[in-house]
Amino acid sequence: MKFRMLFTVLALSAFIFTACEDGKKKEEEAAEKERMEQMEAEKEAEMKAEKEKMEMESNSIAAKAMQTDTLSTLVTALQAAELAEMFKTEEGPFTVFAPHNAAFNKVDKATLESLLKEENKSQLADVLKYHVVSGEVTAQQLMQMIQDNNGKVEIDTVGGGKLVASLEGDKVVLTDENGKKATVVMTDVDASNGVVHVIDAVVMKKA
């Protein structure tokens, strides 16, 4: 009788031990599965974010400028001022009034050469940022703003100065702080981080 009881106790103990081991193994397997699923989800999220980043950069303001032959001087200036990366990777959005090559040709040659020098890149950056507005403003929105403000509207630029936008016929004209005018000749070049409007002159802040 005692032997039978001992055998029963041992058998029961072995069963309980085995059950515990099986339970522990299942818990470990479940934890491992969860860890693998989490790693896979994180990997997929990283790949998605990288893909979105690449798509954004390939359609950014900088990319659009680089794809436009008539903006090659502006691209050179952005690179010299170390601003190209900003318009490539920053989400913005920005509105850029981009002077075309002929606009830069109107700038005094000595002044332009001086601005493009390494030691003057901060000054060049200030000039370029004067062509940039925070937020995305389409041509239609800008024209509506002008009409809603009795024919002219002041625009604050990223460079800290102001531009005055007005209408001359059906064209939007920007007047800088020195009274110089630039006409918008191409509108609504859509980019992933904003919009570009091409202008026919380089505008400058008051010295």
Q: Tell me, what's the pLDDT at 116? A: 85
Structure tokens at 94: 């920005």
Mean pLDDT of 115-144: 92
CA distances from 28 to 18, 92, 207 (A): 15, 46, 71
Q: How far apart are CA 180 and CA 18, in angstroms?
A: 89
Higher pLDDT, 41 or 110: 110
Query: Who's near 117: CB < 8 A, 6+ residues apart?
Result: none
Mean pLDDT of 35-53: 64
H helices, E strands: number in the chain: 8, 7
Higher pLDDT, 40 or 80: 80
Class of domain 59-199: mainly beta
Q: Are 203 and 164 in contact (CB under 8 A)?
A: no
Task: Give the pLDDT band of residue 23 (cuts 50, 70, 90).
Answer: low
pLDDT, one tens digit per residue, over 4-22 is: 665 565 555 555 656 556 5
Stated length of the chain: 207
Task: Give the pLDDT band of residue 126 (cuts 50, 70, 90).
Answer: very high
Q: Tell me, what's the pLDDT at 89? A: 78
Q: Tell me, what's the pLDDT at 5? A: 62
Mean pLDDT of 42-65: 67
pLDDT, one tens digit per residue, over 105-118 is: 998 888 888 888 88
What percentage of the chain reaches a pLDDT higher than 90?
A: 45
What amino acid occupies position 57?
Answer: E
Q: Tell me, what's the pLDDT at 60? A: 85
> Does the pLDDT at position 140 exceed 60?
yes
Closest CA to 71 of 173, 202, 204, 174: 202
pLDDT, one tens digit per residue, over 90-100 is: 888 999 999 99
Q: Are 134 and 94 in contact (CB under 8 A)?
A: yes
